[in-house]
Structures are given as structure tokens and as C-alpha cells.
């Protein structure tokens, strides 16, 4: 029962990070072991689309200079993957985008290491832009043949300044719904 969250925010202390930590705390109370990767800290190199991952077919990136292959191994070891990002100009953060491109190519052309795993998307926004980011993250998971868990309302939380997400009643309801649905889906799949 292992959850891995990939935090695409460049801010280690911000709305995305704090709200994601709250979500993970809820899952820990349900008995899940949680782990979090701060994608921004990795300084990942952009994909140069060399095609080596597809030629090798081993699900690993040929660029060994950064932490990408370690992150891919941690994703393969998890039962549940949560992708989290703030909305930056209607898209996920640039660093998370680099991660998604490289990971997607390595996994799709390789071992399909996320196929059948549970996935969930979590987004923060200041005023708008959350829906395109949410769709981007969900589409990435679907392309990797994951079982995507949603929430009602969608797990898009609003907040401009630090910890203003806690004032978003619909966002708090979405986080609670997402934690419950992740737990229920995991139980049903493992009966």
C-alpha cells in the first residue's frame, strides 16, 4: 500500500506542496505508506528525443546525469501515483513537463511500468487554468494505461497566497473525496 506523489511545484513551501502534504496525511491515516518527490529539485535535463529508450526497451533513460531513472524505479515500486502541479499559464510547471515527457517516453517505449497502477491528479490554481493542467495530468496517466481515480468536485484547489487553499471549501471537499476514492479503489482492486 505505497503511494508516491510527484510534486511539480518549484516552491517547497507553497499551496501545492502544503495541500499535497495534507492529502498524503489523509492517506497515511488510512494505512498507506507515502513518499513524495519534489520534481523541481532534480534539475532534470530536457528530453532530446534520441529514441534510445525505445530502442533499448528497458524503460530507462540513457541520460544518467540526473535522477530520472531513480524516479522511474520509485514509480514502479509504488501502488498509487499522484501527480500534483500548480497551474502556470494554463499548463503544468515546466519542470514537471520535462519529467512527464521523459518518463512517458521511457515507460511507453519500455516496460509499461505503470500499466494497471492507480493514478490521481491534483492541481492548484490562483484564479484559473486548473482544468487544462488537470486534463494534462490525467491524459498522461491514461496514456500510461493507469487506472485514474477522480473526485467530486475535481481535485483542483484555489489559492493565491500561501495556505489560502485552506479557505477553498470546494477544494477541501475535493481533497477529501480524492483520498476516499483512492482508498476505495485500492481496496476493490485488491479484494
* pLDDT, tens only, 112-145: 999 999 999 999 998 888 999 999 999 999 999 9
pLDDT of residue 114: 95
CA separation for the pair 73, 158 (Å, rounded): 32
Mean pLDDT of 92-105: 94
Q: Which string of b and e fits 104-128 if b means at least 16 CB within 10 Å?
A: bbbbbbbeebbeebbbbbbbbbeee
Domain that holds residue 47: 2-189
Beta strands in 88-155 (DSSP E): 118-125, 147-148
Does the pTM surpass 0.85? The reply is yes
Give the distance, in angstroms, between the CA of residue 25 and the centroid of all CA atoms in the same chain: 16
- Mean pLDDT of the 153-161 span: 88
Structure confidence at residue 98 as a pLDDT band (50, 70, 90): very high
**Residue 156 and residue 8: Cα distance in Å, rounded?**
14
Q: How many domains does the chain have?
A: 1
- CATH number of the CATH domain containing 66: 3.40.50.360
Amino acid at each position: 500500500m505505497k503511494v508516491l506523489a510527484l510534486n511539480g511545484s518549484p516552491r517547497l513551501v507553497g499551496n501545492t506542496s502544503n495541500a499535497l502534504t495534507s492529502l498524503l496525511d489523509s492517506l497515511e491515516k488510512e494505512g498507506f505508506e507515502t513518499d513524495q518527490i519534489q520534481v523541481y529539485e532534480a534539475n532534470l535535463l530536457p528530453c532530446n528525443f534520441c529514441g534510445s529508450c525505445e530502442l533499448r526497451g528497458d524503460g530507462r533513460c540513457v541520460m544518467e546525469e540526473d535522477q530520472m531513472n531513480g524516479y522511474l524505479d520509485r514509480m514502479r515500486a509504488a501502488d498509487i501515483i499522484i501527480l500534483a502541479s500548480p497551474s502556470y499559464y494554463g499548463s503544468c510547471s515546466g519542470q514537471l513537463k520535462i519529467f512527464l515527457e521523459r518518463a512517458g517516453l521511457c515507460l511507453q517505449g519500455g516496460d509499461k511500468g505503470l500499466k494497471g497502477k492507480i493514478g490521481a491528479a491534483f492541481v492548484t490554481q490562483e484564479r484559473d487554468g486548473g482544468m487544462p493542467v488537470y486534463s494534462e495530468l490525467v491524459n498522461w496517466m491514461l496514456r500510461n494505461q493507469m487506472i485514474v481515480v477522480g473526485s467530486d468536485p475535481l481535485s483542483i484547489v484555489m489559492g493565491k497566497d500561501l495556505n489560502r487553499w485552506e479557505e477553498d471549501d470546494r477544494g477541501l471537499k475535493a481533497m477529501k473525496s480524492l483520498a476516499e476514492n483512492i482508498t476505495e479503489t485500492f481496496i476493490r482492486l485488491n479484494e
